[in-house]
Each structure stands twice: as structure tokens, then as C-alpha cells.
Structure 1
Amino acid sequence: MMNNVATWFELPVTDMRRAQDFYRSVFDVSFKEEEMGAYQLAIFEAEEGAVSGMLVLGEHYQPSATGAVVYFNGGADLNEPLAKVESNSGSVLMPKTPIHDGECGYFAMFLDSEGNRVGVYSKA
């Protein structure tokens, strides 16, 4: 097992279907849907041992543009997922930006369909 600092994340949503549609469209991901008591869950499908997470709808889960930021893998060029954000009810907060003149890759930030501030990272 890899020794990652982060092992799991949860993104709050107010509309589970809209949120799943957003992430499917922007990142071409799939979900495993579950319920746990009064909570609706959509778990990001991931390879065995990979850090993953889920979308959560329920009490005590409120989307936030000012809380912790989860960074998604932007693939070969994060401009590709960024180009899909606005057409899927999100908004780009920071365009593709080099980290140390691009030596450490690139990042960007957006608001998802639920109002969560989310980051995206790529090496190129």
C-alpha cells in the first residue's frame, strides 16, 4: 500500500444528479452509487490502492467556495477538463497557471456545479 498523506475526500453536493453529470462530463469518470442512512453517496471509481473519494448529499454537508480544496488529475493537459467546466454549470476561477515557470507543472481552479472550489493539476 502506498504511503499517501491523503487517503480519501468527500465533496458536498446539493443536487446529486447534477454533480455526477458535472464530474462525468469534465473528467470522464464513473461512480458507484450507494446510500448510508440518510446520506446519498456517489463514489468515484478508481484503481485498487488509488486515493479516491465521493460526492455526498446529506445533513452536515454544504458545498463551499472557501473551504479545503481537492485537486483532480488534469491528464496530459488540464486545459481539456477546464474547457468543459462552464458548459456544465461551473465557472473557472483561475486559468491554467504555471508552478515555478512550469517546472513543477500547472494548476487551475474552478467552482463545480455545486459551488465547491476545486483544483486541477497537470505536468504539462
Structure 2
Amino acid sequence: MITWTEIPCTDLSRVQTFYSTVFGWTTNPSPHEEVAIFSKGLTNGSFVKLAPEAFLSPAIKLDNSEQRRVALRVTINVESIDEKLKEIEKAGGSLYLPKKAIGDMGFVAYFLDTEKNVLGIWSMN
């Protein structure tokens, strides 16, 4: 179980709207203006506002192509990948890697959120 996830962003309002629309996450006030706390059931974490060059994303080109980047990948369980991808695109996200089977364990697809973070969605369907 993931206890806490921090999702970087450049626009707190936009990222909160995206995750609220697509996954039903609610946001709670934070004492820090650069942070918004989110939750839904056992899923908890924060959106952290950073300068674009301060976080890792495949959509942000680095000046030094030799520099290595490491990023955390979060995968969210959903009922239907196909339906969730439609919601993601409608809310301003986009497909990153299409749905594929992982043996008999289910299916996974990856998307870019409004901040260009790569996240996965997982389903048995």
C-alpha cells in the first residue's frame, strides 16, 4: 500500500481540477501556499508547486541530455482503463503509453496529467 504520494505541478488549481474530475480526489487546505493535500479513501498525498525545471517529466527537455533523470511512477487502480482514458483526455491529460496486457494479472496504460507527470492506470478489464 502506498502511504503518501507527492505529485509535482506548476499550477495547483489546474492539477486539483484534473484529479478531482478524473479520480474524484478531494483537496484539503494546507498551511503552505505551494502545497495542496489530496485524499480519497486510502489514497493520500499532496500536489507540490515547483518551478518547471525543478521536477522530472519526459515532456520537459533538459539542457544537458547526458543528465540522468529518475522519477517515481504511481499506478492507480480503476474499473475500466478504456473509460478512464476518455475521462483523462477530456480533463486535459493525454495518453503516454497505450493499454497492454500484463500476463494474466490485468492491464496497464500510462498517461500524462496536466503537469506532464507520467502515471499509470491498472485494471483487470
Indicate whether the TM-score tops 0.5: yes
Q: Does 1:73 align with 2:65?
A: no
Equivalence map 1:82-97=2 (5 Å): 82-97=85-100
Q: Distance in 1 between matches of 2:25 and 2:124?
A: 20
TM-score by length of 2: 0.77
Instruction: Classify 1:98/1:122 alpha carbon distance in 2 versus 1 (closer, same or farther; 3 Å).
Output: same
Q: Distance in 1 between matches of 2:38 and 2:77?
A: 13
**Number of matched residues?**
113
Shift of 1:7: 2.0
Give CA-to-partner distance per residue, 1:5-36, whole Å, 9 cap, x none: x3211000100011011111211221113133
Instruction: Classify 1:63/1:30 alpha carbon distance in 2 versus 1 (closer, same or farther; 3 Å).
Output: farther
In the alignment, structure 2 segments of 5+ residues that lack a partner are 59-68
TM-score by length of 1: 0.78
Task: Give the root-mean-square deviation of aligned CA atoms.
Answer: 2.1
Q: Distance in 1 between matches of 2:122 and 2:84?
A: 10
Q: Partner residue of 1:42?
A: 36
In the alignment, structure 1 segments of 5+ residues that lack a partner are none
* Counterpart code for 2:88: V
Q: Partner residue of 2:15?
A: 19
Q: Distance in 2 between matches of 1:14 and 1:33?
A: 18
Q: Distance in 1 between matches of 2:87 and 2:73?
A: 19
Give CA-to-partner distance per residue, 1:51-101, whole Å, 9 cap, x none: 421211146952523622111122x2122221122222221012221111x
